[in-house]
Structures are given as C-alpha cells and as structure tokens.
Amino acid sequence: MRKLWVVLFLFLTACGPTAVSDVVYVFDKDNPDHMTDVSFFLEGTAASVNVSLDDGETWHSCNEVIGTLWTCPLEGVTVTDDMSMRVEVKQ
C-alpha cells in the first residue's frame, strides 16, 4: 500500500493564515491510485477555497458543504510518492 504524505501550505489571506483540519481523501474504488475528492474543515469562514496537489500547477475549486466544512472534487489526480496539498483561502 502506498503512503500519502501531505504537507499543507496555507496562503495568507487578508486576516492572516487559516488552519485546516480533519483532512479526508477519497480514492477511486476501481483504481486506488486516483483520488476523487478531498474534504477538510477550515478554522474560519471563507469566500472561496482552492486546493492544489501538484505544487500549484493545477488548482481545484472547492465547495462549502456546511459551516466550515469544504469538499473539493478532483479530476485526473493520480497519487504520487511526493504529493503535497496546498490550500488557498480567500476571505
């Protein structure tokens, strides 16, 4: 089984950095090397949230589920050994 190492990089917003917690990755049941979604909680509210899993080359828009819970549909994301997650929060 492949280990997924995640490093969170938070972009500063007008109000300062925002903490991310309880990150959950959803893998494709037919191909576990692909991710279909990532969800997490933010420390506070946000107007928009985006994530990147390839050092900022590709960004995926996230949707607010309820309160501070966000989910991000991922398309075409293959798990790699050196993968990291960047979260962009705009307030």
pLDDT tens digits for range 23-78: 999 999 999 899 999 999 998 888 999 999 988 899 999 999 999 999 999 988 99
On whether the pTM is more than 0.85, the answer is no
Beta strands 60-61 and 85-90 are unpaired
Whether the CB-CB separation of 68 and 45 falls below 8 Å is answered with yes
- The Cα–Cα gap between 4 and 81 comes to 7
Q: Which of 57, 53, 61, 55 is nearest to 89 (CA)?
A: 61
Whether the CB-CB separation of 12 and 5 falls below 8 Å is answered with no
